[in-house]
Amino acid sequence: MNTERLKKLHRASGLVLATFFFFHVINHLCAWWGADAHIRVMKLFRTVYRFPPVEFLLLSSALVQVISGPILVWKKGFQKTYTISCK
């Protein structure tokens, strides 16, 4: 897979995870209005992110981040080193 496609996949999976984290934080902030509000919001959100296809998407996105992140860092670092050594 070329670097540009890997970057797009990395960004897309990051967007999926960022969306999940946003709603996760919103859930915790609802605790300011009491435990009951927090539990109600948590149950509502769980109906979405515990749906098997959504769970699969979240776990796949995390796996993509873990694998593609170091690859992109390594490739970029290698390109910088190669450019400097060829001058």
What's the N-to-C CA distance of the chain in angstroms? 28
User: Is the pLDDT confidence value at 83 over 90?
Assistant: no
Average pLDDT over residues 20-25: 96
- The DSSP symbol for 86 reads T
9-18 residue pLDDT tens = 999 999 999 9
Q: What is the pLDDT of residue 58?
A: 97
Distance of CA 38 to the CA centre of its chain: 23
Average pLDDT over residues 37-43: 94
User: Is the pLDDT confidence value at 81 over 60?
Assistant: no
Higher pLDDT, 76 or 49: 49
25-36 residue pLDDT tens = 999 999 999 999
